[in-house]
Amino acid sequence: MALARGPVTKLRGSQPLRSLMNTMRVAVCIATYQRPEQLKLLLDDLAIQNFTQVTPTSVAIVIADNDPGETARTTVEALQNTAASYPYELHYIAVPERGVVHARNAAVELAHELDADWMAFIDDDERPVTNWLGLLLDTAERVGASSVAGPVPERFSFEPPSWYIDAGLHCAESFPTGSTVKRFGVGNLLVSASALRDVAEAGETPFDLRFNATGGEDVFLGFQLAKEGHQMVWCDEAIATTEVPEERTEFRWVMRRQYNAYRNYSRALRLSSGSQPWPELAKSLGRLAEAAGRILFGAVRLDKGAMSAGAYLGAGALGKFAGTTDRQDSGWWD
């Protein structure tokens, strides 16, 4: 399905890179919304990426701006005025339709037009390590996987609450590199263009618009990739950190986010399978009981970290229960 979007602005010519393969074109897709300063830091980090085993023949960076005010345009265009030439081709696109799913799909559509073989996704508030893209590509080549995901550790410009740290809520997911994963976030992800085409052929767009108001489009994408027979693996060294604003460590916000995350997970699983995932319902009830036990244990020991960890587990269990049984859409603000 064709997407309505603003004109594409090509801001700089591509500089060829040495390649160990015949051809490998990579597009880094960034959906952004009113974060021009953080976007600038991300683009600076991408400019100094280095490659070891697998080196792409070309890299294009696609910035899909979901702000009607086009706040990212000035940031991208300013790179033309720097003394040193930006090493990769930049493509800016305004996406007036509200919602990150529209922005991600527009970025993918443009990446296909650029004839990209692989698409890497990273959020506009993240900071990748200097070999982030190379590590993702190396893992995909070595394992032969269609998609590779990596960890997104949190970083803070303030001292987070003690309960947040004691409960371990700042810890990112971690798995051995090369291991198979069943779900991932789109904030640190590499996917082959052919795999995204397979998913789009099964539906209308690679990122499903039913998740535009709620989030969870990345989880649904993972389920769809698995249905199409594509292998998804992990690269634990391909780190991209995310900045956490202070308000996102408030207890109510953290619990609401956990509830919505698991609600979206169960909803994505239900929509992907086409049936009610009753085993997930049983799991959610079991986790609710476990959460109650942890909260009680923490209360007896006056341990805020244990109580918070129990509440976090319970919020996720409630979200999973809601996503399994409730077919109504719900936004992050509910």
pLDDT for 261-289, tens place per residue? 999 988 898 888 876 667 777 787 888 88
The topology (CATH level 3) of 8-247 is Spore Coat Polysaccharide Biosynthesis Protein SpsA; Chain A (3.90.550)
> Shortest CA distance to 145 belongs to which of 14, 33, 238?
238
Q: In what order do the strands lie in the sheet with 232-234?
A: 8-10, 89-94, 58-65, 25-32, 118-122, 188-192, 147-149, 232-234
How does DSSP assign 90-157, residue by residue?
Answer: EEEEE--SSSHHHHHHHHHHHHHHTT-SEEEEE-TTEEE-TTHHHHHHHHHHHHT-SEEE----EE-S
pLDDT-derived band at 156 (thresholds 50, 70, 90) equals very high
Bridge pairing between strands 240-243 and 25-32: unpaired
Contact indicator for 188, 119 with CB cutoff of 8 Å: no
- Does the pTM surpass 0.75? The reply is yes
pLDDT-derived band at 298 (thresholds 50, 70, 90) equals confident
**CA 194 to mean position of chain CA atoms:** 19
Q: What is the mean pLDDT of residues 113-127?
A: 97
> Which of residues 81 and 104 earns the better pLDDT score?
104
> Shortest CA distance to 309 belongs to which of 241, 251, 242?
251
What is the pLDDT of the chain when averaged over all its residues?
86
> Which amino acid is residue 108, in one-letter code?
V
Q: For residue 175, what are its two tokens?
A: 């798995």
Contact indicator for 224, 139 with CB cutoff of 8 Å: no
pLDDT value, residue 14: 31
Instruction: Delimit the domains of the chain by residue range.
Output: 8-247, 251-325
d(CA 308, CA 179): 30
Nearest-5° angle of CA 88, CA 150, CA 127? Answer: 50
